[in-house]
Every structure is written in C-alpha cells, then in structure tokens.
Structure 1
C-alpha cells in the first residue's frame, strides 16, 4: 500500500511554458532511481518545450555548480543565468530512506512502520532573468515493504511522488501554442 502526501506547496500557481530556453539541472536521486527519473523528467518537459529544453549534463559549455541547493538566493539564481544563458532552471531533489526515518519530518505525525520505505521529491523552477523561484512543491510517499533487501520500493515511491508533482503542473500550467 502506497501513501502520497504534499509536504510543501510554494509558488504552485503553475508554470508558463510559452517562452524561453529551459535547463534541467542534474537530478539528485539514488543510483537506482536516477536514470529512470532523468528520462521521465526530460520526456515530460520535452512534451511542453520540444527543443527549448536541455539537460545540464549534456551541455558541456555551461559554467554551473555541480549541485544547486533548494531555495537558492536571488543572487545565486542570477549567477545561474550568467553561467548557463538559459531563461529557466529546473531543480529536482529526491530523498529516500529505508528503515531510517530520522532525517525526515512527517506532517501531522505520519504513522511509522517497522519495515517502511519513504521518499520525497522536491521540484523547483527558477526564472533566471528575474532571479525568482516561480514553482516549488515537495511531495512525500511511503510504502510498507516486507523485503528489506530491495531498493525497488523506494524507486517506485520516488517516481510516484514525481508524478504527483507533474500532474499538478499539468493541471495549472500555461502550455505553449504550436
């Protein structure tokens, strides 16, 4: 049984995909989920942006830090513009735990299970021209897991939590006219 819940919603009015060049930063996820998440994110954003979206690891001429923290300052966002010359930057962080819940805060004292996998995904979009966060949402999920030797459940939760966020974006966003 899988449970998903929104942890934080800031700047969730939707995204205007109608203009600009977009850069997706390196997705921070465990090695089991990273490739799957990268392919999924590139596909979803390409559906909106076609050739106006690039993946930072495929662009060799960029001057970017290897990891961009969540909720960066305005000056850091403007520095991303200088190093990348894109209009928007997508930052995705995936955290997961299996039987170690000490690093996670559960809203409303979410129930604990002895054998539980937990993950959360944060997706933020930065307008590099204005130096602002224009979209930010974090979704968490958990699954009761009888097998403590596999990482598949946390990968499933990571993809599921990302899907909750992308569905929110699809409902609220301005799609480009083709």
Structure 2
C-alpha cells in the first residue's frame, strides 16, 4: 500500500444488487488512485460482502492480471443482479392505494420514474395524474392545467402535500 493511503468507506457489495453500480461507486471512491492498477485490485476485496468475498477468494491464483479483468470477472459472476430499466408503461399501473398519503404515493412514483430508461416527461406527468383518486383536487388541477415539465409537476405535488399535511 502506498504511504499515507487511507482506504475510503465503501458500500459493501452483498451479491444481490447491481454489480455495475457497485463498481462505479468503488471507482468513484478510489478516484485518486485509478492510475494504480495494482492498488485498485488489492483494495477491491475490502468493498465486498461475505458472498462476493467468497467468490473473490475462489478466483484461481494468477487468473487476474489487471483491474479491468477483475471487474470483467466480477460482472460475469454477478450479471444476474444487473439492473434492467423499466419502460414508461410501468407507470401506467401506478395507482394511489386506499388510505395512502399523497406523500407516500409520490415517493413510490418518483422511485419508479427514476428507473425508467429515457422516460417521456409528458407521459410520466399524465400517468401520475391518472393514478390519483378521481375526486382528488390535485388530479383536477393537473387535468385543467397540465404541467409542462417534471419540475412543474413536482412543484404542484409539493403544494398539495403541504395542504394534506395541514
């Protein structure tokens, strides 16, 4: 290890989440040392949880020659955990649940919206409106004056959440 090297705090990879995101996080945390291939390889196991660490420890000695190869093998091993983007259609099934607050519905909606690959903002705003109860004041407002973009939609939701909280 280089003098004065301080290992950054890593999210421990559990073998169940997206390996690409883990590698991206690892590289970001090690950004000052990406030029040092040996160090990148040496520190990588400390970012792994028990399942992934067992995989790492099972690698054949001498089979990894550089960080790129290590990451390639890591991706191959945990490929089934890769994230698949949702389509805009997934938003069509979003509905506010009986007794659910606007705050909770909006949080679920934004979580799904952020998983959409290249989502169309107008469709996304429309599907949010359709998921609200028919007698909702926010639904009526969004119908009468549809938002022009996601910022406008979020601003209107915030206004109605504040009314709901009062």
- TM-score, length-scaled by structure 2: 0.22
Larger Rg: 2
Structure with more helix by fraction = 2
- TM-score, length-scaled by structure 1: 0.21
Higher normalized contact order (CA 8 Å, seq sep 6+, divided by chain length): 1
Structure with more strand by fraction = 1
